[in-house]
Amino acid sequence: MKHNPFPYSYWTKILGILIIIAGVISFFRQYHKKGIFDINELAIGLSWGLVFIFFSKERTDDEMIHGLKFKALTWAIIVAFSITELYNYLFLNWRFKRGHDIILSVSAYQFLALTLIIAIISFHYLKHKATLNDAE
């Protein structure tokens, strides 16, 4: 019985990349139009794109890949949540001198984007580490 926990096909990664590109373009268009860096605009594109990239099947998908992805995601959530908590604590509770364009709390989109960036980096690192120096 073959069970794959990742719902999207490998080619969905291309859709993810296109969404990220659209998000980046939208971010710069907002800057040129209004003169503000809308990080949330960027985070929306990034988070949607990264969801399709991370939760799609790999070119060769097997139980080791599933295990590594789960491990990477577990660590990413812990690390991203700690960073989010620390950032929110520092900027909401401490009386730092706040710049005009500094975001004061991390939104759900930014948290998801940060989590998935960390998850993707750690997944590729774990995959590289698992197969290091032993190839025939």
Partner 1 sequence: MKNLIKVERARQNMTQAELAEKVKVARQTIIAIEAGRFVPSATLAFKIATILNCKADGIFELEEKDWL
8 A C-beta contact, residue 108 and residue 43:
no
CA 46 to chain centre: 7
DSSP for 49-91, written as a single string: HHHHHHTBPPSS--HHHHHHHHHHHHHHHHHHHHHHHHHHHHH
Q: Which of 11, 34, 63, 94 binds partner 1 (CB under 8 A)?
A: 63
Interaction of residue 127 with partner 1, rule CB under 8 A: yes
Structure tokens at 47: 């988070």
Interaction of residue 3 with partner 1, rule CB under 8 A: no
User: Would you say 83 or 127 has its CB closer to partner 1?
Assistant: 127
Least separation in angstroms between CB 77 and partner 1: 22
User: Would you say 1 or 104 has its CB closer to partner 1?
Assistant: 1
Q: Which of 19, 53, 65, 80 binds partner 1 (CB under 8 A)?
A: 65
User: Would you say 39 or 65 has its CB closer to partner 1?
Assistant: 65
C-beta contacts of 99-102 below 8 A and 24+ residues apart:
101/36, 101/37
CA 13 to chain centre: 13
User: Would you say 104 or 132 has its CB closer to partner 1?
Assistant: 132
Q: Which residues bind partner 1 (CB under 8 A)?
A: 60, 62-65, 67, 127, 129-131, 134-136
